[in-house]
Structure 1
Amino acid sequence: MNQSEPLRIVHILRAPMGGVLRHVRDLALAHAKLGHSVGIICDASGPAGYNETLLERLEPHLSLGITRTAMSRSVGPSDISSAMKIRNLIKDLRPDVVHGHGAKGGVYARACGSIIRTDHGRPARLYSPHGGSLHFDASSKNGKVYFQIEKVLERMTDCLCFVAEFEANTYRQKIGTPKCPSRVIYNGLAEDEFEPVTPADNAADFLFIGEMRMLKGPDLMLRALSRLKAEGAQEISAVMIGEGPDRDDIHAMIKERNLQTNVTLRPPMPARIAFSLARTVVMPSRAEAMPYIVLEALAAQRPLIATNVGGIPEIFGKAKDFLIEPDVDRLTARMRLALENPEDFKSRMPDHDTLKAEFSIDTMSNWVLEAYHKAKSRRK
């Protein structure tokens, strides 16, 4: 197996936003710098602003370009026409490796990658769930359908790449022990992201940054803010940054709880700029895989309130006992502590040097590249 051999790599993801886009961007840039030809296929639509800017800045570095084609969020008849288009796109790009990210990206990468042949032969097919369908309850109707689809697609998978041990364990519990090769490869950050960020003089008390979905817990933060305000913290302040399907509901909730003067909504922006806008970051997610925003906040040495879900305990390591359940009572108490005793709160954060040693882009990209070469070798 020659790991210096240049590869043609195509990433497929539906929504070009959030942690999945960040993950794909980092891999694409790292592998392009090593001389590999890299391209991306993603949904034609997406929230305007920061995510689109990321794609525009990324495209000049990708010799296979960024191709946009419609991919619906839900399962439906349009998936058939989307699959046909994506099959033709993959065939034209002639990849050695097709890497699907998220539920929809994973379907298209493996199903379409299994029915094409190029001068390279059939491409190696890899899949990273990034949570995706694994968030569903195994006893629910949707969960049963999606997990059965995952079992079928596993036969078309040359390697499963999980971003956390939690994700790998969830897959085993809900779908079964993988019959194809699998490995856990943590997300990583660049060297300069471990430099501290200092909050601005007029920084708010709290910051929420992420996709505006109830799964991420923005409603929990608003309820906690409302309680703290009722206790007497009339001037409590927060910034909420992001876009997503539940943004209108969040906006309505701010009005219902009379928090208009306490909460400022902002569009997506780079995380390190956002960190300067508040003294404490709040990540009240109900479910996660390996969230970048937790890594980014801790790397920037920002105090962080996070929940004990997904791969977050793996990030916190020895400090994982300071995590809370996604519950409004516990969140309110932790936010109160951050307000009343900030120095004690900061002392509970994970060790910065350990974090830097375990979560780097170089480590992540090297392990993923090794997975590509092994999968390609098995294809031959």
Structure 2
Amino acid sequence: MTSTEALTLRVNHRDLDILHVLRAPIGGLMRHVEDLVRGQVDAGHRVGLLCSSADATPATTARLEALAPLLALGLHKTPIRRLPSWSDLSAIGRVRGLVRHHGIDVVHGHGAKGGLLARLALPRHRDRGPFADTRAVYTPHGGSLHYEPGSLAGLVFLNAERWLASRTDAFIFESLFAREAFAFKVGRIGGFSRIVHNGIGPGDFAPLPEAEPLYDIAFVGELRLLKGVEDLLRALAQLKGRDIKAVIAGDGPDRDYFKSRACDLGIAHMVTFPGMVPAREIFAQSRMLVVPSYAESLPYVVLEAAAAGIPLVATRVGGIPEIFGSQSARLVSPHDLEDLTAAISNTLDDAAAAARTAAELRTSVARHFSIGQMIDGVDEVYRVALQRVEGPYATHVEDADTTRTAVSGG
């Protein structure tokens, strides 16, 4: 047996020590990491989590506390700012100390800041010493990819991504869109990459309580301009001759602006802003979910709504077409008020057709977007990265056809 064959056998048949690093433990990113942690612990791995000490909401604080007993390598909180800061040096040192202390196999950075901390914590040349067997894995989750190459912020963040690519052993993208956006905006740098779609579990497919809906139209998510909420409000204004009730659940930096816009448009009586409410609670109270975003990666709220069987109106952005698969032709164009209004109106007018379409989408999502597939796909990436003996990649992000996807959407 060669040394490479021996390494492969050893890597493929042992439990791993894994450290997940992220900034804000909120939203879909937190759900993704939480599901990964639970699945990896169930598989026998030892897992730790490091995140910001300042960004959690009360709800996510409770989720972190529930997760903590599962974390054999600990739950660690440290100050992490969204933008570059001198405090990053302390956070990098904290990650490096955990890697050294626990002999971590994989440091998995999530989002732009988590990816930066995870990769800078490991020496650029680590062919020997305490970090020789540690691999850096990065999932952007949108992050830096939200910035345009021609903007000042894009210049800073995308150049940082280019520089950090040479310190990355493997990239995981949650959608084909994310990988193509990375290749376009950052460039063909970095090497091994794999698409592993976000996955959802049996609880997401549980039947919703049967009750008369309180709302005709629902939005669930972060209340900021990028999510297209203003377009939804304008569509509601076009439909205000009808007896329609809408709920816009969530919080965010533009919440007060959206409430003001509802008043300006004369639809304040049609719209409720309840703040943060569990998504499934809103699904159970509503006839449809509208996702009018201008940009997304592979949003959990779309997967969760599809699994719940609630009719969906969504924009053709990011990885949403990958979720809709054969139904992607019915997605609406972002920023297109007439298209959005017509789709909402058609869904309200033909509830039976909307229910049939929702049931078909639910079946497709159950087939292609399971937590089990996600856990197995991520584990495969870790194993491949650990089998490398010559250190990080520094070549290119592969073209879409040259690396198999761990989960095929459709």
Q: Same fold (TM over 0.5)?
A: yes
Equivalenced residue count is: 377
Counterpart of 1:37 in structure 2 is 46
Counterpart of 1:271 in structure 2 is 279
- Range with greater deviation from structure 2 (98-107 or 45-54): 45-54
Please give the secondary structure, in 2, of the residue aligned with 1:180.
coil
Amino acid at match of 1:178: I
- Tell me the distance in 2 between the aligned counterparts of 1:108 and 1:27: 19
- CA deviation digits over 1:303-362, x for unaligned, max 9? 011110001001101100000012222211111112222223334444433321111111
Amino acid at match of 1:303: P
Q: Please list every run of 5 or more consecutive structure 1 residues that lacks an aligned counterpart in the other structure.
A: none
Deviation at 1:154, TM superposition (A): 0.4
| Aligned-pair identity (%) | 38
- Tell me the distance in 2 between the aligned counterparts of 1:187 and 1:91: 30
- Tell me the distance in 2 between the aligned counterparts of 1:259 and 1:93: 56
- CA deviation digits over 1:190-222, x for unaligned, max 9? 123223324632420111111122111122212
- Tell me the distance in 2 between the aligned counterparts of 1:119 and 1:97: 13
Counterpart of 1:321 in structure 2 is 329
Q: Residues 161 and 186 of structure 2 are in contact (CA less than 8 Å); yes or no, is this contact kept in structure 1?
A: yes
- Tell me the distance in 2 between the aligned counterparts of 1:187 and 1:296: 11
Amino acid at match of 1:51: T
Q: Which residue of 246, 249, 268 maps to 1:241?
A: 249
- Range with greater deviation from structure 2 (260-269 or 330-339): 260-269
Q: Is structure 2 residue 219 aligned with structure 1 residue 211?
A: no
- CA deviation digits over 1:161-198, x for unaligned, max 9? 00001111111111122332111011111123223324
Amino acid at match of 1:123: T
Counterpart of 1:360 in structure 2 is 370
CA 1:194–1:202 in structure 2 vs 1: closer, same or farther (change >3 Å)? closer
Q: Is structure 2 residue 304 aligned with structure 1 residue 293?
A: no
- Tell me the distance in 2 between the aligned counterparts of 1:369 and 1:358: 17
Amino acid at match of 1:342: A
- CA deviation digits over 1:2-38, x for unaligned, max 9? 3231111011111111111111011100000111111
Counterpart of 2:178 in structure 1 is 167
- Tell me the distance in 1 between the aligned counterparts of 2:339 and 2:210: 25
State the TM-score, normalizing by the size of structure 2: 0.86
Q: Residues 259 and 268 of structure 2 are in contact (CA less than 8 Å); yes or no, is this contact kept in structure 1?
A: no
- CA deviation digits over 1:227-278, x for unaligned, max 9? 211xx12x42111221222223223323333433322222334322221121
Deviation at 1:90, TM superposition (A): 4.0
Q: Which residue of 93, 104, 108 maps to 1:84?
A: 93
- Tell me the distance in 2 between the aligned counterparts of 1:221 and 1:379: 52
Counterpart of 2:407 in structure 1 is none
Q: Residues 249 and 274 of structure 2 are in contact (CA less than 8 Å); yes or no, is this contact kept in structure 1?
A: yes
- Aligned pairs for 1:102-121 (under 5 A) are 102-114=111-123, 119=130, 121=132
Amino acid at match of 1:187: N
Counterpart of 2:402 in structure 1 is none
- Aligned pairs for 1:1-380 (under 5 A) are 1=8, 2-114=11-123, 119=130, 121-198=132-209, 200-229=211-240, 232-233=241-242, 235-327=243-335, 328-349=337-358, 350-379=360-389
- CA deviation digits over 1:24-74, x for unaligned, max 9? 011100000111111111111225332222222211211122211111112
Please give the secondary structure, in 2, of the residue aligned with 1:10.
strand
Deviation at 1:118, TM superposition (A): 7.2
Structure 1 runs, 4 residues or longer, greater than 4 Å off: 115-120
Amino acid at match of 1:305: V
Please give the secondary structure, in 2, of the residue aligned with 1:332.
helix
Q: Please list every run of 5 or more consecutive structure 2 residues that lacks an aligned counterpart in the other structure.
A: 1-7, 391-410
- Range with greater deviation from structure 2 (207-216 or 297-306): 207-216
- Tell me the distance in 2 between the aligned counterparts of 1:240 and 1:271: 11
- Range with greater deviation from structure 2 (29-38 or 257-266): 257-266
Deviation at 1:114, TM superposition (A): 3.1
Q: Residues 160 and 183 of structure 1 are in contact (CA less than 8 Å); yes or no, is this contact kept in structure 2?
A: yes
- Tell me the distance in 2 between the aligned counterparts of 1:112 and 1:93: 14
Q: Residues 100 and 131 of structure 2 are in contact (CA less than 8 Å); yes or no, is this contact kept in structure 1?
A: no
Please give the secondary structure, in 2, of the residue aligned with 1:113.
coil
Q: Residues 49 and 268 of structure 1 are in contact (CA less than 8 Å); yes or no, is this contact kept in structure 2?
A: no
Please give the secondary structure, in 1, of the residue aligned with 2:287.
strand
State the TM-score, normalizing by the size of structure 1: 0.93
Please give the secondary structure, in 1, of the residue aligned with 2:13.
coil
Q: Residues 137 and 168 of structure 2 are in contact (CA less than 8 Å); yes or no, is this contact kept in structure 1?
A: yes
- Tell me the distance in 2 between the aligned counterparts of 1:246 and 1:379: 48
Amino acid at match of 2:157: Y
Amino acid at match of 1:353: T
- Tell me the distance in 2 between the aligned counterparts of 1:119 and 1:91: 6
CA 1:288–1:360 in structure 2 vs 1: closer, same or farther (change >3 Å)? same
Deviation at 1:119, TM superposition (A): 4.9
Please give the secondary structure, in 1, of the residue aligned with 2:89.
helix
- Range with greater deviation from structure 2 (2-11 or 182-191): 2-11
What RMSD, in angstroms, separates the aligned Cα atoms of the two structures?
2.1
